[in-house]
Amino acid sequence: MLNTETNRLSYVGNNFGPGALKCNTLCRYFVGVLDKNSGQMEVYNAELFNMQPLISDDVADDDLSEYLTKSYREKVDLCVEAFGTNKQKRALNSRRMNAVGKEVLNKAVAKAAEDIIETKGVAALVSNAAEDEKAEVSLVLPPCHKDADKPEDVYKFEDIISPAEYEALQAPAAAFMNVTSAEILKMIEEKKHCSFVLDELKSMPVGEKSRDHKARCLWFLDRLVKLSSQKVVKKKHAMGPDCPHIISNKLVKTFTVLSFGNGRLKNHVSASMKVKIVAYAIALALHINNFQTDLTVLQRDLKVRDSRILDIAKAMRLKFTKSKGFYGIDEHKVVTLSLPLPINKMPPGWRKRKMT
């Protein structure tokens, strides 16, 4: 048994019993003592001891009962109080003050909630919550003109691509204008564009004006899909060197949020922004395909769950039908924008899932 003492506490360790270190039986330890005068070293056998604070035998068991019931966090805090550095003690005091402030705040919030319920009543609060939920949904969906007389005016094309942005799309979309079957096959092999765009390129309109319009829409939709697969967007050449500045700037400002990390600001594609990208992609696909489009192909390109894209389409007040895919094997979901619009029923759990 080895005993050491300091000004404040005594410590004890032993090499027998259940508390003894097992390493002493598995290894041999030595201590070398160097004689500086002769340069000779003498080696002695040694053992390792685990020293523990010694509590006096005259302390009653009841005195320890309160300590034994404390949590691990509380025991660590007691050690910091007794032996911690000044920095650790300041951090402990700061954490305790924050805990007290949080408790006071929770009580104040609970009291305020009780006062509001007594004043307004539960029915009024539920109504307010429903209005807030609709407002939050409108932040990620394209502007909806529910009183429109024509399907093309429900989600206006100008709200998705402005006239200035549409003009800027002429140059990059020129590659889609007169694309050949061989070029499409090469695109499929290289996987340069999403499946929705590649499918639509196979059936381009004959008229030059219609072909040009569809090419611009497809090029913009392809950039939306590529943006949805990113987590952080770099400022320089955010959407590729061939993307016009006005388009790149629009995509970054509209579909990303600023976040701070590693000492600098970043444009981050959050979960809510991913929902926004999906909603705008659906609206643009409806304009491309005369307000009826294959939702299943878009879902695979955007890499979202089936339930999520259905919830977004329901929130956009679209009608659903099912159709067979190629060779009648896959069942595809087709959405249609038609008037009058269905009643807007928020999907269960939309508010919880949407902003996470």
Domain ranges in the chain are 2-54, 135-354
DSSP states along 175-243:
HHHT--HHHHHHHHHHT-S-HHHHHHHTT--SSHHHHHHHHHHHHHHHHHHHHHT-SEE-STTTT-TTS
Averaged pLDDT of the chain: 81
Sequence-ordered list of residues with C-beta below 8 angstroms from that of 194, at least 6 positions apart, any chain: 221, 222, 225, 226, 301
pLDDT at 135: 44
CB 53 within 8 A of CB 10: yes
Q: Is the peptide bond before 340 cis (omega within 30 degrees of 0)?
A: yes
156: pLDDT confidence band, cut at 50, 70 and 90?
very high
pLDDT at 283: 93
φ, ψ of residue 197 to 5 degrees: the values are -65, -45
11: pLDDT confidence band, cut at 50, 70 and 90?
confident
| Distance set, CA 32 to CA 47, 142, 170 (Å) | 13, 79, 83
pLDDT at 218: 94
CB 142 within 8 A of CB 279: yes
**Whole-angstrom distance, CA of residue 213 vs CA of residue 174:** 10
pLDDT tens-place string over residues 61-97: 455 667 677 788 888 888 888 888 988 888 888 888 8
345: pLDDT confidence band, cut at 50, 70 and 90?
low
Whether the full predicted model's pTM is greater than 0.85, yes or no, is no
Q: Where are the alpha helices (DSSP H) in 121-194?
A: 122-138, 157-160, 163-168, 174-177, 181-190
The residue that leads in pLDDT, 88 or 323, is 88
Q: Give whichever of 115-124, 253-262, 311-320 has the largest mean pLDDT.
A: 311-320
CB 54 within 8 A of CB 12: yes
Above 90 in pLDDT, residue 286?
Answer: yes
> Hey, how many other C-beta atoms are within 10 angstroms of the C-beta on 184?
16
**Whole-angstrom distance, CA of residue 39 vs CA of residue 175:** 85
Average pLDDT over residues 153-162: 92
**Whole-angstrom distance, CA of residue 309 vs CA of residue 298:** 9
Above 60 in pLDDT, residue 36?
Answer: yes
Q: Which helix (H) or strand (E) holds 82?
A: helix 72-83
Q: Give whichever of 58-72, 128-142, 231-245 has the largest mean pLDDT.
A: 231-245
133: pLDDT confidence band, cut at 50, 70 and 90?
very low
Query: Residues 218, 220, 226, 228: what is their CA dihedral angle, to the nearest 10 degrees?
Result: -110
pLDDT tens-place string over residues 178-188: 888 899 899 98
Average pLDDT over residues 227-250: 81
Q: Tokens at residue 207, please?
A: 């008229």
Of residues 186, 169, 275, the one with CA closest to residue 222: 169
